[in-house]
Amino acid sequence: MALLEIKNVSRRFGDFTAVDDVSFTVESGEFFTLLGPSGCGKTTLLRMIAGFDLPDSGAIVLDGVDLRDTPAEQRPIHTVFQSYALFPHMTVAQNIAFPLRMAGKADDEVRTRVREAVAQVKLDKLEQRYPHELSGGQKQRVALARGLVNRPRLLLLDEPLGALDAKLREQMQIELIRLQRGVGVTFVFVTHSQAEALALSHRIAVMNHGVIEQMDEPDKLYGFPKNRFVADFIGNVNMHEATVAATGGTLTLELGTLGRIAAPSREGVKAGTGGVFVIRPEQVSIRAAAEASPDPNQFEGVVNDFLYIGDVTTYIVDLPDGKRFEALLPNSAPGRAKFFEVGDHVRLSWKAEAGAFLDA
Amino acid sequence: MRRSPLLWAASLAVYAFLYVPLVVVVVFSFNDSKLNAEWVGFTLDWYHKLFANAEMLHAAANSLLIAVVASALATVLGTMAGIAMHRFKSRLLPFMTLTPVAMPEILLGVSLLIFFISVFGEESLSLLTVIIAHTTFCIGFVAIIVRSRLAGMDESIFEAARDLGATPWQTFRLVTLPLIMPGVVAGALMAFTLSIDDFVITFFTAGAGVPTLPLQIYTMIKIAVTPEVNAVSTLLMLLTLTMIVLAGKIAPDVLRGKG
Ligand SMILES: Nc1ncnc2c1ncn2[C@@H]1O[C@H](COP(=O)(O)OP(=O)(O)OP(=O)(O)O)[C@@H](O)[C@H]1O
Ligand SMILES: [Mg+2]
């Protein structure tokens, strides 16, 4: 049985629907992520799971029990807030001890468990400090330790890394994964950063305007986005309007005036259907226009610009019909950071099994 | 910041304006003369006289009792009102709580007098009615201070407490109350000082049998401003100062005026 079941949950504010008939399940031990742009309803959904808010319709079920009549303090669910929400008048140790005290644990056990939790998040020697004497990363650790110390069935994390700088965030991501594996607590993690979601999660639900657009494992989500929104939101993607010219083992797509390409087949598409063709920049090969390519799909273009990222360089190429495609080249050859200059004529190509045809 | 001499002079003048009259009162309370005119010599006579004055002692006891009970009641009720004003964003609630603060005292005094007489009768005016009256006008002050203290706080702290297993009552006792405590102490202090030196409202609601310190001082200076009045004022001043220092110890940030 799934640990958490969200069944057709909706939440309306006036005539605005913040969460619209959302359903999903989270398995025990899973790192589950709700990913979506700002305002798509992630926090609203999380608040209903925590018990600060009630759904207008639908049910939230934990371990087979409907939580509707269970107040927040009785749910075996803890939350790590984006603002940390540490108690300012309590020391680090007192903050972490709080859930244990509320659960009525004996002093001895509280002391032992707090010491363990402090070690787990590497806060030794800081136990007697107050929150205002901690850095952002340290506060984050206290919030995590406090959320985990009483071993909840479920830990909700609302953009917990949002306030940290890039370097610290990366470090905390690694520690989050380590912690989650270590304690075996189920995580429901909220973020609007697709990179964070891909790096951390077992499964990701992509939300938009209060609905779940797609729910999948990170590599499936990235490799096989179901629709235009997901393709665009997760990672970078090249898009081109397309019409199905022929179906069969592979699809034949008409990319406007650009010409025809071969693309992976999809169930239920008929000739004449309009949509978009999407392909990731790293699936597009780039070489000098004079060189030949073995790929079935190829177009010549002119380098418009390039972005040197460090490990890779992204080339932005103008196609004959005025559309722009991006192609990615790793800079693994020593001393090579640039293969093409702006204005160079290049050949873009990709295999028949690369990319996907999606509904518009 | 550079300190200009002009600024210095101006602030000196302001402080002088504020404190010279107080210093004069204190100095003349130790003056060995019946007149507040020139320094004759040091004496503690006026204090001896004061403590032998049964009427004055009775009035002081009344004032203290009223101030303690009224400020305690106002602190409890005002804290609840402050929290309610913060929690329920209604417009009517602040209006109703704060009106007694803004209302001219004389109006409040008269209306309370009329209320007590018409509901409980002429003979109801007593210590109790004064306490009720003082509580009424002090609630608003406490409520304002408590609410402003809450206003700057991250709401998710209280949700976090619930989330981690605290009942609403535990959340109040372990999180809300400690966090607003400086405001509560400041409110209690303010209520106490407001109550102990209140004249107008007490005048209307006390009736004949309940002289308080301010009423007694008023009765005395109708005859003459004796050094005894200076002495009692000095003691009142000392009491207020002690309370401020105490508050500074209990809640250091109240005096610094930071949220
Ligand atoms: N109490 C409320 N009353 C009215 N509207 C609300 C309320 N809470 C949230 N909303 C609206 O619901 C929508 C979803 O809000 P929510 O906080 O869930 O977004 P989010 O996905 O968490 O966004 P972010 O990434 O910015 O935190 C927003 O448009 C918001 O304005
Ligand atoms: Mg949010």
Q: What is the DSSP letter of A274?
A: E
Structure tokens at A289: 């226009």
Q: Residue B259: its pLDDT value, please?
A: 35
The set of residues, in sequence order, having a beta carbon less than 8 Å from that of A172 and lying 6+ positions away, is: A137, A140, A160, A161, A164
Q: Tens digit of pLDDT for each residue in A185-239?
A: 999 999 999 999 999 999 999 999 999 999 999 999 998 898 989 998 998 899 9
Q: What ligand 1 atom has the least distance to the C-alpha of A14?
A: 4
Domain ranges of chain A: 4-229, 237-359
Q: What is the 3-state secondary structure (H, E, C) of A117-134?
A: HHHHCCCCCCCCCCHHHC
Looking at the complex, report in whole angstroms how far the Cα of residue A101 sits from the nearest Cα belonging to chain B. 9
Looking at the complex, report in whole angstroms how far the Cα of residue B64 sits from the nearest Cα belonging to chain A. 33
Q: Could you tell me which residues are beta bridge partners of residue A208?
A: A211
Q: Is A43 in the pocket of ligand 1 (CB under 6 A)?
A: yes
Any A CB within 8 A of B179 CB: yes
> Quick check: A103 and B165 CB within 8 A?
yes
Find out whether A94 and A149 touch, Cβ atoms under 8 Å.
no
The interface pTM score, or ipTM, of the predicted complex is 0.81
Using CA atoms, how far residue A217 sits from A49, A192, A200, A206, A236, in Å, is 22, 17, 11, 11, 18
φ, ψ of residue A20 in degrees (nearest 5)? -120, 95
Q: Tens digit of pLDDT for each residue in B167-224?
A: 999 999 999 999 998 889 888 988 998 898 888 999 888 877 788 988 888 888 888 7
Counting one residue from A and one from B, how many pairs have CB atoms under 8 Å apart? 59
Closest CA to B37 of B45, B47, B27, B48: B27
Q: Tens digit of pLDDT for each residue in B165-175?
A: 999 999 999 99
Q: Which amino acid is residue A22, in one-letter code?
A: V
Kindly report the CA angle at A40 between A177 and A86, in degrees rounded to 5? 50
CATH topology classification for A4-229: Rossmann fold (3.40.50)
Q: Is A41 in the pocket of ligand 1 (CB under 6 A)?
A: yes
Q: Name the closest-CA residue to atom 24, ligand 1.
A: A38
Report which bound ligand comes closest to the CA of A207.
Answer: 1
CB nearest to B156's CB, from A81, A103, A147: A81
The set of residues, in sequence order, having a beta carbon less than 8 Å from that of A43 and lying 6+ positions away, is: A158, A190
Q: Residue B90: its pLDDT value, please?
A: 75
pTM: 0.81
The CA distance from B153 to B20, in Å, is 40
CA of A38 to the centre of ligand 2 (A): 7
> Quick check: B162 and A98 CB within 8 A?
no
Residue by residue, pLDDT tens for chain A (360 residues) are 789 999 999 999 999 999 999 999 999 999 999 999 999 999 999 999 999 999 999 999 999 999 999 999 999 999 999 889 999 999 999 999 999 999 999 999 999 999 999 998 888 899 999 999 999 889 999 999 999 999 999 999 999 888 788 888 888 898 889 889 888 899 999 999 999 999 999 999 999 999 999 999 999 999 889 898 999 899 889 999 999 998 888 889 999 888 899 999 888 888 888 899 999 999 999 999 888 889 999 999 999 999 988 888 899 999 999 899 999 988 876 655 568 889 999 999 999 999 999 987
**The pLDDT of residue B255 is above 60:** no
What does R_g of chain B's alpha carbons equal in angstroms? 22
| Residue B250 pLDDT grade (very low, low, confident, very high; cuts 50, 70, 90) | low
Collect all residues of chain B within an 8 Å Cβ-Cβ radius of residue A83.
Answer: 154, 156
The CA distance from A267 to A153, in Å, is 40
> Quick check: A150 and B159 CB within 8 A?
no
> Quick check: A87 and B165 CB within 8 A?
no
CATH topology classification for A237-359: OB fold (Dihydrolipoamide Acetyltransferase, E2P) (2.40.50)
Find out whether A282 and A314 touch, Cβ atoms under 8 Å.
no
- The preferred substitution site among A10, A11, A13 for testing ligand 1, maximizing ligand atoms within 8 Å of CB, is A13
| Residue B257 pLDDT grade (very low, low, confident, very high; cuts 50, 70, 90) | very low
Using CA atoms, how far residue A252 sits from A258, A277, A279, in Å, is 13, 11, 15
Looking at the complex, report in whole angstroms how far the Cα of residue A85 sits from the nearest Cα belonging to chain B. 5
Q: For each of the domains in chain B, give its residue range(s) and CATH number, in order of start.
A: 46-255 (1.10.3720.10)
Closest CA to B36 of B221, B249, B256: B221
Find out whether A51 and A208 touch, Cβ atoms under 8 Å.
no
Contacts by residues A171-175 (CB-CB < 8 Å, ≥ 24 positions apart): A171/A137, A172/A137, A172/A140, A173/A199, A173/A200, A175/A121
Q: Is A42 in the pocket of ligand 1 (CB under 6 A)?
A: yes
